[in-house]
Amino acid sequence: MARVGIIGIGHGVFGRRSDATVQELAFEAFRAAMEDAGIEKDDLDASVIGSVPEYHKQRSLPGVVQEYLGLVPKPTWLTEVACASGSAAIRTAWMSIKAGIHDIVAVIGCQKMTELTTPEILALMGRVGEVQWESVFGTTFPAYYAMFARRHMHEFGTTHDQMLQVAIKNHFYGAKNSCALFQKEITMEKALESEEVATPFHVYDCCANADGAACVILAKEDRAKKISKKPVWLDGMGCATASMSVLRRPNLVGLPSAEEAARVAYEMAGVGPKDIKVAQVHDCFTIAEIMAYEDLGFCKKGEGGKLIEERQTYIEGKIPVNVDGGLKAKGHPIGATGVSLTYEITKQLRGEAGERQVKGADIGLTHNVGGIGQYCFVQVLRRS
């Protein structure tokens, strides 16, 4: 069956973007992607928007974005699966091309989060958990992932210092990324001195809310080859779910949805974990990146802390991870995050990441988690 390729990518600056509305953020990334692809609006068949509407004052966001981008009357629609909405949008566009409905589709992940207060955001995110038996008791995202962290520490001896090594690595690379919210390195001392959030987490264990947008242009194989000299192929597209209630999960040391989505993506692409040269994973908290190492098969269960401690996930290590700063340093505008992950892997496979470039990167992976692991999308990407 014909493949689907990425022919254009664009990315805006993540941060507190009081200078732009959500549609202006979308335009920033869309314009860059269209220029990168070298195509015109008339070449597009449709657009898909990844976003979480509760954070915006504007309801029915795709309509206002579509109008602002000048794409009316072409079809558009929204995908929403919490923090994985951007990857869901890519998968939806990929399916529409695979089905023969469209040839070229723009995927835009966009989110404006800083119009709400932190307590309002915490309340919204807490309700992604199961509302009948969990979120009504005051659960928050940091508290949920703190439970994962404490269990991982209990079962495997993982230490808080190992978790903070994730933050140190990601801030090191975020300092080299002009699109990142936090473009500064941190030390272990600075991280430990930061305010405690939810035991064992301190501020530097947690990613930050942000505004921002990213865009990728997908095309069916024959069109991609004609348009682009450097298409990147979406060869493995895994997707899975887990129970809404965390307490009904088989364990609290990983995400079953991530394990299943990875299995499907690897099988579809005909590769395994050892074939991946660079990865972008969902590091909403430091323990999340460590669990991702294990769920994706980069190391055995319980050895994720050792992997980062040995610096194996730096560029010079055996599996570079989040060398754009990750959610931790780049920021997490939840609808844009999944598209941003794909943007970075595309740049890596095209050899365009500058001082953050992983040498010889020909196969890459993205891992995007929605909610507290209720949804997970894993993509395996390959350059021509």
Task: Classify burial at 225, counting beta carbons within 10 Å of its beta carbon; exposed 0-12, middle 13-18, buried 19 or more.
Answer: middle
The number of distinct structural domains making up the chain is 1
Q: State the helix-helix crossing angle for 61-68 and 22-37, rounded to 10 degrees.
A: 50
Say what the pLDDT of residue 9 is: 98
Tell me what pLDDT residue 15 has: 97
How far, in Å, CA of 151 to CA of 240, rounded? Answer: 23
Residue 375 lies in a domain: no
Residue 186 lies in a domain: no
Residue 127 pLDDT: 78
Within a domain: 243: no
- Domain coverage including residue 83: 4-116+209-227
Query: 99-118 pLDDT, tens per residue?
Result: 999 999 999 999 999 888 88
The reply to whether 240 falls in a domain is no
For residue 362, the tally of other CB atoms under 10 A from its CB is: 16
CB 163 within 8 A of CB 286: yes
Q: Which residue has the tokens 């109008």?
A: 67
The residues that are catalytic are 83, 332
Q: In this structure, is residue 99 part of a structural domain?
A: yes
Residue 234 near residue 379, CB atoms below 8 Å:
yes
User: What does the pLDDT look like over 202-232, one tens digit per residue?
Assistant: 999 999 999 999 999 999 999 999 999 999 9
The pLDDT tens digits for 120-129 are 887 787 777 8
> What is the side-by-side strand order in the sheet with 212-220?
76-79, 46-50, 104-111, 212-220, 4-11, 232-241, 375-383, 363-370, 278-280
* CATH number of the domain residue 101 falls in: 3.40.47.10
Residue type, 312: Q
Q: How far is 334 from 17, CA to CA, in rounded Å?
A: 14
Q: Would you say residue 46 lies in a domain?
A: yes
Q: Where are the alpha helices (DSSP H) in 272-325?
A: 286-295, 304-309
At residue 169, the pLDDT reads 98
The pTM (predicted TM-score) of the whole model is 0.97
How many separate helices (H) and strands (E) can be counted in the chain?
A: 13, 11
- Please tell me the predicted confidence (pLDDT) of residue 59: 83
Q: Once rounded to an integer, what is the mean pLDDT over residues 14-39?
A: 97
The angle formed by the CA atoms of residues 362, 308 and 279, to the nearest 5 degrees, is 25
Task: Provide the pLDDT for residue 300.
Answer: 98
Alpha-carbon distance 91 to 133, whole Å? 31
In this prediction, residue 351 carries a pLDDT of: 98
Candidate from 57-66, 113-122, 153-162, 249-258 with smallest mean pLDDT: 113-122
pLDDT, position 384 = 83
Give the β-pairing of 232-241 and 212-220. Answer: unpaired
Q: What is the mean pLDDT of residues 286-308?
A: 98
Q: Residues of the chain with pLDDT > 70: what percent?
A: 100
Residue 1 has pLDDT above 80, yes or no: no
Question: Would the pLDDT of 157 be above 90?
Answer: yes
Q: What percent of the chain has pLDDT over 90?
A: 90
> What pLDDT does 60 receive?
92
**Per-residue pLDDT tens digits for 357-384:** 999 999 999 999 999 999 999 999 999 8
